[in-house]
Amino acid sequence: MLKKVFQKLDKWMGEENWERRELGTLGLAPVKIQLLGQMALVEAQVDLHLFATVDVDAYMEVGSVRLKLAELLKEVGLILDPDSDKIWMPEETEYQNYFHGKFVEVVLAEPEYVLISKALKAPQKNGALISEYLAQGASKRFQALAEKYKLDLEQFL
Amino acid sequence: MNWQEIQKRAEKKRKALERKRKDPRFRAVIGRLVHEGFLKARDTAPTRARPTVEDALFAGEVEPRVLELLPAILARRPKLFLQTRPLPPDLELVVRELKRGKAERDFRGIPAIKYTAWETLVRHHGPEQMAIAKTFRLKKADLTLLAALKEKWGLNETEVVRKALALATE
């Protein structure tokens, strides 16, 4: 579902830049959006029971493109979290490609980094999700992150 | 503790959670929240069932996002859940504070900043009903027309655009 939103955003940027060229004003620079949180897990199609409130977490620059994205998300019943920038992600977070348009590039935080962020910062809210993940057998990458950030696993068992 | 032991113990927890997820009370609550557009759930069909507040509290033990939404729902759309008995004291307190715009305390591990954030969404009956900010570049002639309609209809600019759109599509 989100891919269609980003396609629309890419199209809008193209039209907006064409109009701005006509008016002789500065065009919009290409943007990179980093999707985080529950929506990153949903879009990565991880095999877990995922329940998500309607907020979308993303790192991206503030400006008219962000406003337009918020508008497009609302049209499909989602809300761009204005506090996304406050979300903590491990410094070594890796991202996978998700959408590459002419002006818009979107990447998803890899699931293990999202899960470690959730486990460390909101363990109560994400307890069921982390327990389910651990029951599947945590990946080596998750194990290394859990050890590095001293995650208390007992709370999920 | 090694990772194999962690997996074994987590599996027991997962099975217990799975039993609760299959409970009709859990499915009814999640289904209703999905129907209202407050929650996205891959494996649950939307339903118009009207679960009780107790059912919602039960579902919240498995999925805390329900607890995140519950105070705002009870404050702004109380009919969404059936109330068969008085609210638990902690819930009643946060709902009362939320109605007064003074929510500060945590509710069952959910910080006030989190559950108050849903108030606007719930009040507007889901994101589809919320107003969206749009920007347009208008020429001087358009602005003159807008100002004239504002004066004529006695409305603000947004209401003028809404009315004009309604008239154009009649």
**Interface residue A155 vs chain B (CB under 8 A):** no
Which residues make Cβ contacts (< 8 Å) with residue B148, sequence separation at least 6?
none
pLDDT-derived band at B136, boundaries 50, 70, 90: confident
The Cα–Cα gap between A14 and A20 comes to 10
The Cα–Cα gap between B3 and B10 comes to 10
> SS3 for B37?
coil
Is A49 close to B21, i.e. CB distance below 8 A? yes
Which H helix or E strand runs over A106? strand A104-109
Q: What is the pLDDT of residue A143?
A: 93
Q: What is the pLDDT of residue A55?
A: 84
Which H helix or E strand runs over A56? strand A55-59
State the residue for tokens 């008085």. B86
State the residue for tokens 């209809």. B153
% of chain B exceeding 90 in pLDDT: 34
Test the B interface: residue of A22, A28, A43, A53 with most B CBs within 10 Å = A53
Which residues in chain A are contacts of B43 at CB distance < 8 A? 49
State the residue for tokens 């307890």. A127
DSSP label at residue A26 = P
Question: Residues A49, A129: contact at Cβ < 8 Å?
Answer: yes
User: For residue B49, which amino acid is it?
Assistant: A
Q: What is the pLDDT of residue B128?
A: 53
DSSP label at residue B107 = B
B77 pLDDT above the threshold of 60: yes
Nearest to A53 among B21, B39, B132 (CB): B39
Q: pLDDT per residue over B112-123, tens digit each?
A: 888 888 887 787
Q: pLDDT per residue over B78-108, tens digit each?
A: 889 999 889 999 999 999 999 888 888 888 8
Test the B interface: residue of A2, A51, A80 with most B CBs within 10 Å = A51
Report the complex ipTM: 0.77
| Strands A31-36 and A104-109, sheet pairing | parallel
Using 70 as the pLDDT threshold, list the residues of chain A that sit under it.
none
Instruction: Walk across the sheet containing A55-59 and list its strands.
Output: A79-80, A55-59, A31-36, A104-109, A95-100
Q: What is the DSSP string of B42-74?
A: TT--------BHHHHHHHHHH-HHHHHHHHHHH
Question: Residues B46, B34: contact at Cβ < 8 Å?
Answer: yes
Q: Is A110 exposed, middle or buried (0-12, 13-18, 19+ CB in 10 A)?
A: middle
Q: What is the pLDDT of residue B161?
A: 87
**A contact residues 82-121, partner B, Cβ 8 Å cutoff:** none
**Which structure tokens are listed for B29?**
């609550």
B126 pLDDT above the threshold of 70: no
The Cα–Cα gap between A82 and A51 comes to 20
What are the backbone dihedrals phi and psi of residue B73, each rounded to the nearest 5 degrees, phi first?
Answer: -65, -45
Q: What is the pLDDT of residue A36?
A: 94
Q: What is the pLDDT of residue B127?
A: 55
The Cα–Cα gap between A86 and A82 comes to 9
B134 pLDDT above the threshold of 80: no
Q: What is the pLDDT of residue A61?
A: 82
Range list of H helices, chain B: 3-21, 24-35, 53-62, 64-76, 89-99, 112-116, 119-123, 140-153, 157-168
Q: What is the pLDDT of residue B53?
A: 94
Q: pLDDT per residue over B29-71, tens digit each?
A: 999 999 988 888 877 888 888 999 999 999 998 888 999 999 9
The Cα–Cα gap between B11 and B55 comes to 25
Which residues in chain A are contacts of B128 at CB distance < 8 A? 74-75, 77
Q: What is the pLDDT of residue B158?
A: 84
DSSP label at residue B100 = T
**B contact residues 59-98, partner A, Cβ 8 Å cutoff:** 62-65, 68-69
Question: Residues A56, A39: contact at Cβ < 8 Å?
Answer: yes
Q: What is the pLDDT of residue B130?
A: 59
